[in-house]
Structure 1
Amino acid sequence: MSKTRKIITWIVGIVAIIAITLVASSMYFFHVAEVRAPKTFIKSAVIKKNNPTFSYDAKFNKQHKEVWHQTTPGGLKLDAWYVANPIKTNKTVVIAHGFAGNKARMAMYGQMFLNLGYNVLIPDDRAAGQSDGNLIGFGWTDRKDYVRWINQVVEKNPQVEIAMFGVSMGGATTMMTAGEKLPNNVKVFIEDCGYDTVKNEIDFQAKSMYNLPVIPRFPLVDIVSGISKLRAGYTYGEASSVAQLHKNHLPMLFIHGGDDKFVPTAMAYKNYEATQGPKELWIVPGAAHAMSFEKNPVKYAGKVQSFLDRYFQ
């Protein structure tokens, strides 16, 4: 074998090894990101008695819950809890949970809104809790499910006034839903620590969790995004809170922890700038990811109530 041929064979072999490694790594990261399975990097759902949110969580868990359902166009059966406020009202909040979460993990927020005088609907996203599905939607596939949940609320009570609220991935879901065509019953949105685009969040986590440099992060995230397009129907770039907020003209309150190391606080400013309606931004000093409510539940609830009172009678 000539020297030139040996060099070509060596280069082809190296390229093949790199390609195989990238594909294998991409399949692994896709599974971590989107496939329904326990996520060991997400903190425990157990709330201890000394936690400031414990009483909220415990009280909501004692509430009577109606179980609501919807079936997606793809045939997935989705599950939700509806809790009517003890004092009859036409005000309802729809709550979206976070990554690897479920409706039960939003109990503390459910009780907060009951205290504020709202009925509460908390769905399990597809691939979460009691809902069907194996692929996590990162808010993008979920946004249309939430439009259907909102429409279901309106069908049951045409006089209803609706707020939507979400935390982390639920915050992104809220922002993504805000860009859809919605009934006039929807009045406001409140999002807490949602990301600007799925691509930026996945890229950030590849660096934060795995210490990957720009290369191989650059091709790796794009390959995982391509797998997502084939498996889940969307790329990470198109799953954008910012793009959806450009279409939103309703009021929105943005909340973000000032010490968020999971969804960078800088993303809150991008989201805030993107929305086209009345808006308010509250950066909570010292709060880590999705910890703003826990840091000071009374102040948090007061901030939410003050915002809602501007738009609800």
Structure 2
Amino acid sequence: MRSLSIFGLTVASLYLGFCLFLYFYQSRLIFHPKSLIGLTPSEVALESEDVWLPVVSGGRIHGWWLPGAHPSRTLLYLHGNGGNIGVNLEHARRFQQMGFSVFLFDYRGYGLSEGPFPNEARVYEDANAAWDYLIQTRNIQPADIYLYGHSLGGAIAIELATHQPQVAGLIVQGSFTSMQAAATAVGRYQLIPLRLLLTQRFDSLSKVKDLKMPLFYIHGLDDAEVPADMSRQLYEASPQPKELWLVPMAGHNDLARIAGQTYFDQVQDFLEIRTQAQTP
């Protein structure tokens, strides 16, 4: 009995210790920034402008402005939790080839951006700084700005869209309903009381019902990191006008490559929906 008691206390201590680790270090488990930028616009002969923006709470964010051909199409690109803007440049270039001017930036702690390690509140603040840059410095009308977010960036884009209902449209790719759901969906933390421990909630599902702009959800059916059903749930909870595109054989990071020209066609169709929605 004494051995069983010692064993039980050991297991309980380990469990409690793991819960405390998750509570205090969850940002380190969610965000995976890289400092080294592996690919730059100059290396692919892409016209760009380096942008540095101060953030109210400290530090500054770095990004690239990629000018496009269409005067009324600007895309604010919000990347996921790993890498930095260098990893996302090729995909941002796809939108630029569609005519968008693209502002692609790193959250503080990623790439060249300076400041404290990211958390939910900070990346929201960084997104707001990027938005203010487009409105105040570039003098772009909100109705000409589209928001694009991939994975964690989708949750950031949804949060920003709740405060900027006048945006032209919102594209969310490979994103999740909430951080709690994402953590449990991949087979981890089932025995952990995440509802009590999570401070980084990214609860998109509770927000999408209030969105006011045309919505386009994209997800790969073979996504092993975020189940495609999460985009279905976001879509079902969202108001019209909205579209959902589920891509066969596409994973979390290769969807546009797998889809090829169809990716361009689907985005163009979404732009038509947005135009129709604005027509009296």
Shorter-chain TM-score: which interval?
Answer: 0.7 to 0.9
TM-score (norm 2): 0.83
* Distance across 2 between alignment mates of 1:248 and 1:310: 16
Match of 2:17 in 1: 23
How far off its partner does 1:147 sit? 2.7
The CA deviation at 1:88 is 6.1
CA pair 294-73 structure 1, distance change in 2 beyond 3 A = same
Cross-structure match for 2:192: 218
Specify the alignment match of 2:145 in structure 1: 162
| Residue 63 of structure 2, aligned match among 66, 80, 90 | 80
Counterpart amino acid of 1:68?
Answer: V
**Residue identity matched to 2:72:** N
Per-residue deviation, 1:183 = 6.7
Structure 2 distance, partners of 1:183, 1:292, is 28
**What is the aligned length?**
270
Question: Is residue 126 of structure 2 the alignment partner of residue 145 of structure 1?
Answer: yes
Match of 1:297 in 2: 260
What is aligned with 1:204? 185
Q: What pairs up with 1:258-277 in 2 under 5 angstroms?
A: 258-277=221-240
Cα distance, 1:46 vs. partner? 8.3
Alignment of 1:1-313 (within 5 A): 11=5, 14-15=8-9, 17-24=11-18, 27=21, 30=26, 32-34=28-30, 36=32, 61-85=44-68, 87=69, 89-137=71-119, 141-155=122-136, 156-159=138-141, 161-179=144-162, 181-182=163-164, 184=166, 186-205=167-186, 207=187, 214=190, 217-219=191-193, 221=194, 225=198, 234-236=199-201, 239-312=202-275
Q: Structure 2 vs 1, CA of residues 111 and 146 (structure 1 numbering), >3 Å: closer, same or farther?
A: same
Contact 2:78 2:157 in 1 (8 A): yes
Cα displacement (A) at 1:275: 1.8
SS at match of 2:62: strand
Q: Percent identity?
A: 22
Q: What is the RMSD of the two structures over their aligned residues, measured on CA atoms?
A: 3.1
- Quote how far apart the aligned CAs of 1:15 are: 3.2
The Cα of 1:203 is off from its aligned counterpart by: 2.2
Would the aligned equivalents of 2:173 and 2:217 in 1 still touch at CA under 8 Å?
yes
Q: In structure 1, how many angstroms separate the alpha carbons of the residues matched to 2:48 and 2:41?
A: 14
Question: Gapped runs of 5+ residues in structure 2?
Answer: none
In the superposition, the TM-score normalised over structure 1's length comes to: 0.75
Unaligned runs of 5+ in 1: 1-5, 39-44, 48-56, 226-233
Deviation at 1:79, TM superposition (A): 1.1
Alpha-carbon separation, structure 1, partners of 2:15 and 2:48? 48
Q: CA deviation at 1:204?
A: 2.6
Structure 1 CA distance for aligned equivalents of residues 239 and 124 of structure 2: 19
